[in-house]
Structure 1
């Protein structure tokens, strides 16, 4: 059965090592969001560094998720003191559970505040793609798909919720994603 990969990428307004309350708030809320998402129906897994160090993205051991990578447009630091980005890589059973998890509850609250933490850019900040159940996506896969999305728009190779595709490449309609399911 196919799995859905999701890569997210955003450029932060300040480095992850910034001691300000806003950065601490981002970390704390992010940790709470991941705890919540990891219990959500349809969630399978996400990339985690072996040592769990939030500030060491580029040099961390990501195991089967591969070496950490970022899109070509990221032009800020790459050390624990200067890195100013947030990226995630996760696996889901299907689009609907991912949509419900992302656009409801605590994650929705965080999305509503994204411009408190992130710079506005002309680049997409997330991408989906389908893969077989025996494949683990890598950070480089996520970067390649995000860059493909930026260059070509949504295709079965790399897509977003508004222009989504099924695992066999059939387009889905936007109306399907307008609101979460009942009780969510």
Structure 2
């Protein structure tokens, strides 16, 4: 049975190593969101580095999730001290559980604060695509599909929650 990959990308208003109260609120919220999401029905896994150091994304060992990369339009820092981004790569059993995890619970509450934490970029903030059972998405896949979504809009190989597709390419809910 196909599985669903979800890649998210946002540009933060502050570097990942910022110790200001606003940044600390974001990190605390993110940790709670990850704990809640990992217990959701339909959740399979998300990319995690072998060793977590705050801000160290580009040089981290991501294992089977591939080499860490970001969209070409990301123009802020790439070191632990200067990186100002929040990104996720996760795997789900189906579209509905992923949608519910994003738009309910603690993540929904966090979404109401996104303008406090993130810069507007004019680019899509998430992309979804189907994978064959037994495979994992990579960071490179996520970035490539986010670029495709931004250039061509939703299609079966790169889509959004509002304009989604079934594994066979059939549009859903339109």
Alignment TM class, shorter chain as reference: over 0.9
Q: Give the distance between the partners of 1:63 and 1:74, measured in 2 at CA.
A: 23
The structural deviation recorded for 1:12 is 0.3
Q: Which residues in structure 2 correspond to 1:115-134 (within 5 Å)?
A: 115-134=115-134
The structural deviation recorded for 1:53 is 1.8
Q: Give the distance between the partners of 2:121 and 2:78, measured in 1 at CA.
A: 19
The structural deviation recorded for 1:173 is 1.0
Tell me the equivalent position of 1:32: 32
Tell me the equivalent position of 1:91: 91
Say whether residues 1:156 and 2:172 are aligned partners: no
Say whether residues 1:137 and 2:137 are aligned partners: yes
TM-score w.r.t. structure 2 length?
Answer: 0.98
CA displacement 1:56-94 (0-9 Å, x = unmatched)? 000000000001000000000000000000000000011
Q: Give the distance between the partners of 2:55 and 2:84, measured in 1 at CA.
A: 10
2:17–2:54 CA contact under 8 A, matched in 1: no
The structural deviation recorded for 1:54 is 2.7
Tell me the equivalent position of 2:172: 172
Secondary structure at the residue paired with 1:6?
strand
The structural deviation recorded for 1:55 is 1.2
**Number of aligned residues:** 174
| Structure 1 residues without counterparts, runs of 5 or longer | 175-184
